[in-house]
Copies of this chain bind each other. A is one copy, B any other.
Amino acid sequence: MPADRGTRTQPAAAPAPAGPADFAALDALVRPRSVAIVGASDDPKRIGGRPIAYLKQQGFAGAVWPVNPNRPTVQGLPAFASVAALPEAPDVAIVAVPGALANEAVEALGARGCRAAIVFTSGFAEVDEAGAAAQAALVATARRHGMRILGPNSLGLFNAAINFYPTFSTSFEQGWPLPGRIGIASQSGAYGTHIFTIARARGLGTPICIMTGNEADLSVGEVIGWMAQSEEVDVIAAYAEGIRESERFVAALDLARRNRKPVVMMKVGRSALGAHAARSHTASIAGDDAVTQAVLDEFGVVRARTTEEMLDIAYAATKRIYPARNTLGVLTISGGAGVLISDAAEALGLAMPPMPEAAQAELRALVPFCGPRNPVDCTAQVANDWPLVGRFAESVAADGGYSSIIAFFTQTAGSRTVGEALREQLKGAIARHPDRLWVLSAILPEEGRRRYEEDGFLVFEDPSRAVVALHAMGRFGESFARAGQTAAAVPLPEVRLPGTTPSEAVAKRLLAEAGVPAVPERACGDAAAAVAAAEEIGYPVVLKILSPDILHKSEIGGVLLDVRDAAGVRAGVATLLERARERAPGARIEGVLVAKQIAGAVEMALGITRDPVFGPVAMVGLGGVFIEVLKDFALHRCPLDPAQAERMVRSLRGFPLLDGARGRPKADVAALARALSRLSAFAAAAGPRLRSVDVNPLLVLPEGQGCYAADAVIELAEG
């Protein structure tokens, strides 16, 4: 494992307790019948006043109970002097009191029987150690009462479907959330509402948005899980700076996949600089971004680099068409756009197979100088005869059979003079093939865009952005298809770790018992034993002098290669003992080591490290420069099955070296994948005392001949 992957910071606060996610608490948070506001203000611009103003203005149908000891009414509503004075336990409470009073408020709410609180109050783990301690106390109070907390330092949430706005965000100035099926789960309040505001400006409906703040209790992971089982949400857009706990996060991603709900995520802090900034400004831990990426990949979460990309993908996902084998067909009026789209598709690995030959011939008969292959360039000829566009579009869908289709018509689609004639043709094609992802790439006024969207099109001005979004739909589809397969349970070996870090020999034995074979070798006291060992191992063998006092065997000529028969073994043993006597006179000689001679192998490195969030993580890469210099390695949580292990191996940039590049025989990738899977099972079974494993090199022989660990180091915490 490369040395420069950064140091890990331990979490500042204890993660949420393990166990099944508590969706009932989230139901109460998002769909309550009553809400109390502790620290309610009569001023609708103050933090404790703003949610009351929103709830009134938007007409929340449930009960709204301001708690304020100094006023009989708050913003026209009867106020209660204390939590104890409330008519009954509220489904949810907002805590908007100053920091020092928050714990007391939570205590009072818990005692009153309230099960969930949204804590706006800030000044906790995000500022300093004292704040972290106060936050831990807050959580302890809540847990004592079986109460769940969103925050502290949370901007709150909203559920527009029931006009519930327990938030002090000012982001509604430009409009209230639109109806739709996208849920936003964001650690950051500022960025969560930023996403909402941009989505709204684009006409995207995000009626539910939940901002977890410091995540002292509820985390983005648990929120994703709730959305995955919620009837209101089809598409989950998530934002996080760090993942705080793994169990519910992983369970949530698994549930989303099983329920065919795509998760598109911005996980920022991928760079060293970004991770530093993330650590310094929030209570979040940075963890290892590469490990997080591996977990997102495992569950088919698409990671967006920008807000635009996230919303492009969420927008496309609202069609709920997720092709397991995505292909892209392109119909274009501009050859240049066809080239540009082809570049973008190839860069992402989105397949653009050619149209069938017969269909190409038919299109050529319609428009002699068209480009019928794919991209299908209907040329500006169609401007003289718009029904041609309908025939081209029909052919791309019916003959090409593509699951994703981009129709590029630039400003023509919005033209006052010809736009409607074009639209009629495209509308017919999409109506006949509603099971495809249809994109119109065009420059359109808002009204024109709306009309094409009503016809069923996704509308993207920039075709390159459309390609990114369509590619994501295929990644969701592939992942959903894998969720349907019964994942082979990985059997865990029985592992008994020694009390201290073991020697190389013991390490190799432990791994061999777990199913990671070591190079066959035998320690032999004399020539007869050496011959027997060589016969058992199979020729050719390597002979090495065996002495605790000789560290650099080859310097005294203590290694003999390519020994091919019994006579050679006998002669070799004599030679080695002779040389040892001569060249290392004081050394204690224990005999010789007889080892299988491995030739023609590809050197790989396998490893295990322990991630502070996700636990043991398996690594594979090619040996030598690949891992350290080229950063070419793959990671996966432990354990993983051989199929997952093989996908990891095949994802390496250097994979061609295992696959017959440069005239080599193909390597035994199946054996390599088995070894990696077994190593991961060993790590999963070994428990938290296992700090790391380094198998380097693992020698992978040609197909059918297996692979062998030539060296191994196991590092343990004190037993």
Residues of A within 8 A of B (CB): 126-127, 170-171, 173-174, 187-188, 190-191, 193-194, 197-198, 201, 239, 241, 266, 268-274, 276-278, 280-282, 305-308, 333-340, 342-347, 352, 368-369, 371, 373, 375, 377, 380, 410-412, 414-417, 443, 445, 461-462, 464-465, 625, 628-630, 653-654, 656-657, 661-662
A-B CB contact pairs (8 Å), 17 listed: A190-B334, A190-B337, A198-B443, A198-B462, A271-B345, A271-B346, A272-B346, A273-B343, A273-B346, A273-B352, A274-B343, A277-B342, A277-B373, A281-B371, A305-B344, A306-B462, A629-B656
Bound CA span A630–B631, Å: 12
In the bound complex, do residue B173 and residue A415 qualify as a contact, i.e. CB atoms below 8 Å apart?
yes
CB neighbours (8 Å) of A171 from chain B are 411
In the bound complex, do residue B268 and residue A190 qualify as a contact, i.e. CB atoms below 8 Å apart?
no
7 other A-B residue contacts (CB within 8 Å) besides A127-B368, A190-B336, A273-B352: A173-B411, A187-B336, A190-B337, A277-B338, A281-B335, A281-B377, A630-B653
Bound CA span A190–B271, Å: 39
Bound CA span A347–B271, Å: 7
CB neighbours (8 Å) of A340 from chain B are 191, 266, 268, 274, 306
Separation in Å of the A2 CB from the closest CB of chain B? 12
Checking B187, B333, B462, B661 against A307 with a beta-carbon cut-off of 8 angstroms, the contacting residue is B462
Checking B170, B239, B368 against A336 with a beta-carbon cut-off of 8 angstroms, the contacting residue is B239
In the bound complex, do residue A194 and residue B443 qualify as a contact, i.e. CB atoms below 8 Å apart?
yes
In the bound complex, do residue B174 and residue A443 qualify as a contact, i.e. CB atoms below 8 Å apart?
yes
Given contacts A336-B191, A336-B239, contact A343 B269 (CB under 8 A): yes
Separation in Å of the A158 CB from the closest CB of chain B? 15
Bound CA span A212–B240, Å: 48
CB neighbours (8 Å) of A411 from chain B are 170-171, 173-174, 193-194, 197
Bound CA span A268–B305, Å: 23
Given contacts A343-B270, A411-B170, contact A277 B464 (CB under 8 A): no
Q: Quick one: which of A278, A345, A368 has the most chain B CB within 10 A?
A: A278
CB neighbours (8 Å) of A343 from chain B are 268-271, 273-274, 305
Write the chain B residue with the least CB distance to A239. B336
CB neighbours (8 Å) of A368 from chain B are 127
Separation in Å of the A283 CB from the closest CB of chain B? 11
Q: Quick one: which of A171, A343, A371 has the most chain B CB within 10 A?
A: A343
In the bound complex, do residue B306 and residue A662 qualify as a contact, i.e. CB atoms below 8 Å apart?
no
In the bound complex, do residue A170 and residue B281 qualify as a contact, i.e. CB atoms below 8 Å apart?
no
Given contacts A339-B268, A462-B306, A662-B628, contact A443 B280 (CB under 8 A): no
In the bound complex, do residue B273 and residue A443 qualify as a contact, i.e. CB atoms below 8 Å apart?
no
Checking B193, B273, B333, B630 against A342 with a beta-carbon cut-off of 8 angstroms, the contacting residue is B273
In the bound complex, do residue B191 and residue A337 qualify as a contact, i.e. CB atoms below 8 Å apart?
yes
Bound CA span A688–B707, Å: 51
Separation in Å of the A178 CB from the closest CB of chain B? 15
Write the chain B residue with the least CB distance to A656. B629
CB neighbours (8 Å) of A377 from chain B are 281
CB neighbours (8 Å) of A416 from chain B are 173
In the bound complex, do residue B334 and residue A170 qualify as a contact, i.e. CB atoms below 8 Å apart?
no
Bound CA span A198–B266, Å: 28
In the bound complex, do residue A654 and residue B628 qualify as a contact, i.e. CB atoms below 8 Å apart?
no
In the bound complex, do residue A464 and residue B308 qualify as a contact, i.e. CB atoms below 8 Å apart?
yes
Bound CA span A127–B368, Å: 9
In the bound complex, do residue A281 and residue B338 qualify as a contact, i.e. CB atoms below 8 Å apart?
yes
Separation in Å of the A211 CB from the closest CB of chain B? 11
Write the chain B residue with the least CB distance to A337. B191
Bound CA span A654–B632, Å: 12
In the bound complex, do residue A345 and residue B273 qualify as a contact, i.e. CB atoms below 8 Å apart?
yes
Separation in Å of the A286 CB from the closest CB of chain B? 10
Bound CA span A220–B205, Å: 44
Checking B270, B625, B629, B661 against A628 with a beta-carbon cut-off of 8 angstroms, the contacting residue is B661
In the bound complex, do residue A339 and residue B278 qualify as a contact, i.e. CB atoms below 8 Å apart?
yes
CB neighbours (8 Å) of A630 from chain B are 630, 653-654
CB neighbours (8 Å) of A333 from chain B are 190
Q: Quick one: which of A268, A345, A414, A656 has the most chain B CB within 10 A?
A: A268
Checking B270, B307, B629 against A654 with a beta-carbon cut-off of 8 angstroms, the contacting residue is B629
Q: Quick one: which of A276, A410, A415 has the most chain B CB within 10 A?
A: A410
CB neighbours (8 Å) of A273 from chain B are 342-343, 345-346, 352
In the bound complex, do residue A190 and residue B661 qualify as a contact, i.e. CB atoms below 8 Å apart?
no
CB neighbours (8 Å) of A201 from chain B are 443
Bound CA span A201–B462, Å: 13
Bound CA span A187–B278, Å: 45
Bound CA span A280–B330, Å: 15
In the bound complex, do residue B280 and residue A373 qualify as a contact, i.e. CB atoms below 8 Å apart?
yes
Given contacts A194-B443, A410-B190, A464-B307, contact A335 B277 (CB under 8 A): yes
Write the chain B residue with the least CB distance to A309. B464
Write the chain B residue with the least CB distance to A242. B339
Q: Which 5 pairs from chain A and chain B are nearest by CB?
A: A190-B334, A281-B335, A271-B346, A191-B336, A188-B336
